[in-house]
Structure 1
Amino acid sequence: MPIINRVEARSKRVKIVYLCIYTVLILGALSMLYPMILMIAGSVKSETDIIEMRPVPRYFTDQRVHYRKFLESKYSGQILLYQQIHHRDEKSWHTIDIPSNDTHKELAHLFNQFRKQLVEEDWQMLGHITGPSRLQFKNLRRYRQFVADSFGGSLEAMNREWKTAYPSFLHLRPPIEKELASRRHRPDSGNQQLLFNRFKMSLDAAERFIVDLDGYYQLYYVRPTYNSIEKYNAHHGAELHSFHEVLLPSIPPTQSTHRADWEQFVRNELSLIFIRIAPSQAARYRHFLKRRYSNLAELNEYYGTTHATWEDIHFPTRMPQIPKQIVTWDLFVQEDADLDAIQVVGPRQEFETFLESQGFDRTVFGNHSAQAAAVRASDWGDFRAQINSSLVENLKRNYLVVLDYILLHGRGVLNTIVYCILAVLSQLIVNPLAAYALSRYRPPSSYKILLICMATMAFPPAVTMIPSFILLRNLNLLNTFAALILPTMANGFWIFLLKGFFDSLPRELYEAADMDGASEWTKFWAITMSMSKPILAVIGLGAFTNAYSNFMYALIIVPDPEMWTLMVWLYQLQTQAHPAVIYASLCLAAIPMFLIFLFAQNIIIRGIVVPVER
């Protein structure tokens, strides 16, 4: 019989009560859903917008935020690299704005033509890889797949050829390219670098960006040396407005202070890839070698050459390819080469030559770099062209990282499946048998037994972890499924709950079964278990939830990584992953539990409705 009958339900007062009840229930539901929505939204974010606690990420509707995320991905999360290439002063991705409407469309078109015909591998860096934010962008996944395909999926063949010890292709990291403009960079002719270069140049030009020597000069030499543009102007007698107007000339300047800066940077800081020396320095180079080596035989032995005379030595006007010769050429550039014979040849110089061939007047940029202006316009155009694919990439990127990690540790998935099945089966067998015995036979000590069962709830599981570990170690059961299953087979609360449910079943059914000569097992299985499906569903769901989410106990009892469950591996991922990846892992981890609940909900609801109707 309902608490409120149909007549009373028609009154205004009762309708208000109903409204209040439903309002409270809806607010309660929203309070539970809101954190979940925030977590789902966080799983599709990155360093650009991870600090924004919004149920709907802003880049869904705000093109400016989306553009920031695109730049973050292209420059692999390295804000200093963005500053260097774009000639901008933004300190974080959150402050970047979209280009103004007067962006040079013609310049962007010419730059796209220029970068497509650029063949110098060491002048270009691959974007969308990975960086300090610990996010993994799309080209890192492509690179791993490219390497796996190149070796026919054989990890052993790759490690043997590269002389590495990668445990899987998912551990593969590309060569570091962020210092291509630095003297610390040395060309690598190894097989791994050659394959990476082949992969890099096989992609569309929009996936790469070109080294900016002016940006490197400004960011790593001029700024640290002078700290402020006012100090730079006072030292050089200039009237510049920002460091972005300080460009690296191709040849040594004539003004003394500019010349001193140029010499210090080019001789000691700039990558040798971009330096050329006039052929007139050949005699001076050979004289430099004579001072370093006491005789020609010593030089031949060091270089592995067979020069008959000093004049037979070839003078390289650009950086050699042999490592030992690179060291000598580097020292010659630093110590002995005539400054006026040194020239810087980089992407900006080549781009300006290209602009002149196309009839474009570069003087419209004044003291600013034409390359930087072209890059800004080109990046905006690339974003507009890839806006849909960029959105899809942002949505799936973090989830793919988690799935790759789970796939890498596939034994963890198998261990979790086996553990959950055994936990559910064992608890659905042991607990009903114990409760059935207490309910059917009613021993004199049944209430004491129930009291002991309920008393086990007074001790938190953490208290029993160490004693359980010691006991299982003495039984030689560590690193086995038995160690995970045995301590949780019998549960005091489940036994108490089942006994109460079994006591409510009609006794007449058992008396009729006795008259028909049914065995005790038949009465237990055909009557008790078949009529207890709702409560068994609750116990099964609880057993699955406890086993699936078991982390600390599984880590202590099973120290062998080969026996770790999925929760332990996800914890390992979370210790080294970006917060957005952590959110993605939590969302994926919640899916199996959600599906199990959907599967069991009808039976559970029957357990709520049937006793009321009875």
Structure 2
Amino acid sequence: MPHISVVGRKSWRVRFAILSLYLILSVGAVTMVVPFMLMVSTSFTSNVDAQEFRIYPKFWFDDSWLYRKFIESEYNEDILLYSRVAGEDHGDFRELSLPEKSSEKQAKEYDEFKLSLPLKYTLTAHAYSVSRGKISLEGVFLYRQFLEKRFGGDIEKANQEYGEARDYFDMQVPRELWWMRDFEPAKTTKYADQWEFKKSLEPRFLIPVPLEAMYREYVKAMHDSDLPAVAQAYGKPIESLTDIEVHRTLPVSPAEAADWEEYVRREAPFQFMIISPEAETDFQRFLSRKYHGDLSLFNRNYFGEDTARYYISWTRVPLPETPPPESFPRADYSDFIQQSVPMKYVQMQTPLTLYQDFLRDRYETINGVNGAYGTTYASFAAIELPTKATDAYQLATNKQQIRRQFTWRNYRDVTDYIILHGRSVFNTIVLVACTILITLTINPIAAYALSRFKLPQTYKILLFCLATMAFPAEVSAIQNFLLLKQFHLLNTYWALFLPGAANGFSIFLLKGFFDSLPQELYEAAELDGAGEFQMYRRICYAMSKPVLAVIALGAFTGAYGSFMWALIVCQNPKMWTLMVWLQQMSGWAPMSMVYASLVLAAIPTLLVFIFCQNIIMRGIILPMEK
């Protein structure tokens, strides 16, 4: 029978009340759905757009935001690196705007040029995250696949060769700092593998070392970070850092020559210098002065007891063609450059100068370059690396693939983390299954005993069961922990589900339902010769399936969502459940990845509700009707 009669519904007041009720319910639904949608939307983001908090990610429909995410990933989430490569000054990737893309010819030839560069002249793109160490950009994902194939998926073998102690392949590409003079990675197996991986990459994963930017920043710092002061000293207009010319050899202008020499002697990386063989005599004189003419001391420092390699004269000591990796020779080579090498014998060879030579060899004249690319360069010296334009071209030609990759990147990382870490999925399945089984065994039996046998203490027992609901679980945590420790059950599955086997509310709910069953059912069963266990199993248990479904759902959500108790009683990571690992992940992962983990963690509960909602609703309504 409806609460409001058909006649009553015709009243405007009643209709207004019904409308108000629906509006209130709608607002309540929105306040529940919108936060969830915001969480799902944020789970697709990265650092650059995680603070937008929109119903849908902007990069799905806005190419400008997709470009920002693409650049953030390509330059390893390092805005300083991007600023140096692009020759601009940015403090955040959100400041970037979508530039004009290059022509297809320019983009393809620039890729060809990058593949021709020595590996020490390039950095690996999409390779590591400077902000969060375990985020897997596209290059990181490929690097892990490379290592898994290299070691046949055996992480212990990788640990043995690399001298590490990892649980699974969570490595990032080692960071490269080729613009620093003192950067020289140790020649280890890991370094060799990184080199082989880098050789296998497509050109879009290579970034030319921004040495020109480092030189320009150095010059600016030499003049107290005042560009007008640089312009005044050089006697030419300089409005931005890119107006500072990076000379290959010692400039003619005294002011520029002084800055160039200072940079070469103190900061320039050795691999970007070419020292003329004509400087060999100066090098030999320098070594003779440094070692005070003691050639035997020099030989012992360089070759130890290997007398066969000893030099018999200073004039026999050659000038190294490349920077030597050994400690003594490298130190002498460094001191020679800092103190003695004549600047007329030094030439800077950078990715930019090589690119200019690349275009000169291909097109011979600047007009040929401008005609091929549609540019307006005045000379080869005016050419800059087309990094921004080719990045925009890469985005335009692979837009859907890049958008799809950014959409699922966080979920891929979380899934890998869950699957590869310990036995989290298996432990969670065991915990949930055992918890549901023991809950649906102990609680119905206890409720049946209280309902079937009219004990004088029944209501006192019920009151005791309900009293347990008045205190949070943390109150009894210490006692339960000490009890489990006494029985040597810590770090076992028993410790996870035994303390919650009996539930006061479940016993109270089931007893109320059993009490509502007609007494005639038991009498008829007794006349048919049924025992207590048969009456319990075939009458009470069979008829209480909707209520048991609600209790099972509560047991499932409680066991599945618990992490504190699992962390306390199982401190061995091999026994950690899914929620413990996700809680550990939240300590290092960015907000977007944490949200992705929450969305994935919510899927099992959502599926249970979707497929069991009819049983759940019957379990809620049926006891009330009884």
TM-score range with shorter-chain normalisation? over 0.9
Matches within 5 A, 1:298-309: 298-304=297-303, 305-309=309-313
Report the more deviating stretch, 559-568 or 468-477.
Answer: 468-477
The equivalent of 2:62 in structure 1 is: 62
Letter matched to residue 57 of structure 1: P
Q: Is the 8 A contact 1:9 1:15 kept in 2?
A: yes
Q: Flag the 1:372–1:75 CA change in 2: closer, same or farther, 3 A.
A: farther
Deviation at 1:247, TM superposition (A): 2.9
- Provide the rounded CA distance (Å) in 2 between the counterparts of 1:190 and 1:328: 24
Question: Normalising to structure 1: TM-score of the pair?
Answer: 0.93
Report the more deviating stretch, 466-475 or 412-421.
Answer: 466-475
Task: Specify every segment of 5 or more residues in structure 1 that has no aligned partner in the other structure, as ranges.
Answer: none
Report the more deviating stretch, 581-590 or 302-311.
Answer: 302-311
- Provide the rounded CA distance (Å) in 2 between the counterparts of 1:238 and 1:105: 35
Matches within 5 A, 1:151-300: 151-162=151-162, 164-177=163-176, 179-186=177-184, 188-219=186-217, 222-223=220-221, 226-293=224-291, 294-300=293-299
Report the more deviating stretch, 442-451 or 566-575.
Answer: 442-451
Give the 3-state SS of the residue equivalent to 1:170 in structure 2. Answer: coil
**CA-to-partner distance for each residue in 1:486-506, whole Å, 9 max, x for gaps?**
211111111111111111222
Deviation at 1:367, TM superposition (A): 10
The equivalent of 1:115 in structure 2 is: 114
Deviation at 1:445, TM superposition (A): 1.6
- Provide the rounded CA distance (Å) in 2 between the counterparts of 1:237 and 1:104: 36
The equivalent of 1:312 in structure 2 is: 316
The equivalent of 1:490 in structure 2 is: 502
Give the 3-state SS of the residue equivalent to 1:262 in structure 2. Answer: helix
**CA-to-partner distance for each residue in 1:187-240, whole Å, 9 max, x for gaps?**
543332222122122121112111121112234552475223233334444421
**CA-to-partner distance for each residue in 1:523-566, whole Å, 9 max, x for gaps?**
11111011111110111110111111111122122222222111
Q: Is the 8 A contact 1:245 1:367 kept in 2?
A: no
Deviation at 1:380, TM superposition (A): 0.8
Matches within 5 A, 1:114-513: 114-116=113-115, 118-134=116-132, 135-162=135-162, 164-177=163-176, 179-186=177-184, 188-219=186-217, 222-223=220-221, 226-293=224-291, 294-304=293-303, 305-322=309-326, 324-357=328-361, 358=363, 359-361=365-367, 364-365=376-377, 372=384, 374-513=386-525
Q: Flag the 1:441–1:525 CA change in 2: closer, same or farther, 3 A.
A: same
CA RMSD between the two structures: 2.4
**CA-to-partner distance for each residue in 1:77-112, whole Å, 9 max, x for gaps?**
0000000100111210111011147x6776545423
Matches within 5 A, 1:525-564: 525-564=537-576
Q: Is the 8 A contact 1:453 1:492 kept in 2?
A: yes
- Provide the rounded CA distance (Å) in 2 between the counterparts of 1:63 and 1:215: 28
Q: Is the 8 A contact 2:548 2:619 kept in 1?
A: no
Letter matched to residue 246 of structure 2: L
- Provide the rounded CA distance (Å) in 2 between the counterparts of 1:36 and 1:367: 57
Q: Flag the 1:74–1:43 CA change in 2: closer, same or farther, 3 A.
A: same
Report the more deviating stretch, 142-151 or 306-315.
Answer: 306-315
Letter matched to residue 270 of structure 1: A
Report the more deviating stretch, 278-287 or 244-253.
Answer: 244-253
- Provide the rounded CA distance (Å) in 2 between the counterparts of 1:154 and 1:558: 27
Give the 3-state SS of the residue equivalent to 2:169 in structure 1. Answer: helix
Give the 3-state SS of the residue equivalent to 2:366 in structure 1. Answer: coil
Q: Flag the 1:36–1:370 CA change in 2: closer, same or farther, 3 A.
A: farther
Give the 3-state SS of the residue equivalent to 1:171 in structure 2. Answer: coil
Q: Is the 8 A contact 1:86 1:372 kept in 2?
A: no
Report the more deviating stretch, 181-190 or 317-326.
Answer: 317-326
Letter matched to residue 558 of structure 1: C
**CA-to-partner distance for each residue in 1:29-54, whole Å, 9 max, x for gaps?**
22111111111111110111011010
Indicate whether 1:592 and 2:598 are aligned.
no
- Provide the rounded CA distance (Å) in 1 between the counterparts of 2:383 and 2:603: 48
The equivalent of 1:572 in structure 2 is: 584
Task: Specify every segment of 5 or more residues in structure 2 that has no aligned partner in the other structure, as ranges.
Answer: 304-308, 371-375
Deviation at 1:315, TM superposition (A): 1.6
- Provide the rounded CA distance (Å) in 2 between the counterparts of 1:446 and 1:130: 65
Q: Flag the 1:369–1:93 CA change in 2: closer, same or farther, 3 A.
A: farther
Q: Flag the 1:219–1:49 CA change in 2: closer, same or farther, 3 A.
A: farther
- Provide the rounded CA distance (Å) in 2 between the counterparts of 1:287 and 1:555: 68
**% same residue:** 37
- Provide the rounded CA distance (Å) in 1 between the counterparts of 2:72 and 2:395: 12
Deviation at 1:360, TM superposition (A): 3.2
Q: Is the 8 A contact 1:275 1:319 kept in 2?
A: no
Give the 3-state SS of the residue equivalent to 1:343 in structure 2. Answer: strand
- Provide the rounded CA distance (Å) in 2 between the counterparts of 1:445 and 1:2: 41
Paired residues, number? 610
Q: Is the 8 A contact 1:127 1:139 kept in 2?
A: yes
Question: Normalising to structure 2: TM-score of the pair?
Answer: 0.92
